[in-house]
Amino acid sequence: MSLSARDLAACLLEAGAVRLQPADPFTWASGLKSPIYCDNRRLLGVPEVRDQIVASLVVRSAALAPTLVAGAATAGVPWAAMVADRLKLPMAYVRPTPKNHGMGRQVEGPLAKGHRVVLVEDLISTGMSSLRCAEALRAEGAEVPAVLALFSYGLPQAEAAFAAAGVGLAVLSSFEVLAGEAEARGILDAAGSTALKAWRSDTVAWSRAHGGA
């Protein structure tokens, strides 16, 4: 049984995979301040939810008729492995950058040349790391019709980047759905909801206003 977008949003909140702190924002590795932090790796430890997520990923992946499933390292790798296993397809994973030793490969596993590849990610923020992985697959001669992710912040810059790269983006749940679920559960009040929407509309301006990069 697969999950609806709202069901997945509920699972993210219940598992503590997504935390919302508009009044005490997180600091991302980039230095940006953010009212939301997402760690979907937590869902790997909840077998019943994990199985439903994989079922949803399998359905969405199969619709794209892939001949190879790839995971974006590192967080996308376990999901890609489970999807590839259920679809009985070869599986690869893509490093953020090529290795600086050995064969110097960026795409590990079978050669991607000639394959139609679905790239699995756990989270889409700006989209740049996912698109670098997609470009690495294309450089090997693969076709990459889409990136499939568990969750996306829905940032405008990500949507623009995917459109410019000519890569589709499909997600199991989204920022809007999660924000709505958080409000329904009383996790977010009206002020918190307004803060999240302001952050998403201009992450840089919001970060600077809250002491970040």
Nearest to 133 by CA among 82, 83, 95: 95
- Whether residue 150 contacts residue 172, with contact meaning beta carbons closer than 8 Å, is answered with yes
Distance CA 179, CA 176 (A): 5
Q: Are 122 and 40 in contact (CB under 8 A)?
A: yes
What pLDDT is stored for residue 2 in this prediction? 73
- pLDDT tens digits for 82-99? 999 999 999 999 999 988
Cα separation, 24 vs 13, in Å, equals: 18
Question: Domain residue spans in the chain?
Answer: 5-196
Gap between the Cα atoms of 193 and 57, Å rounded = 29
* CA–CA distance, 196 with 36 (Å, rounded to integer): 8
State which CATH number among 3.40.50.2020, 3.40.50.2300, 1.10.10.10, 3.40.50.300 fits the domain covering 5-196: 3.40.50.2020
Angle at 82 between CA 46 and CA 120, to 5 degrees: 100
* Per-residue pLDDT of the chain in tens (213 residues, 90 and over written 9): 678 999 999 999 999 999 999 999 999 888 899 999 999 999 999 999 999 999 999 999 999 999 999 999 999 999 999 999 999 999 999 999 988 787 779 999 999 999 999 999 999 999 999 999 999 999 999 999 999 999 999 999 999 999 999 999 999 999 999 999 999 999 999 899 999 999 999 999 999 999 998
CB–CB of 80/61 below 8 Å? no
Determine if the pTM surpasses 0.75: yes
Q: Which residue has the tokens 């076709």?
A: 143
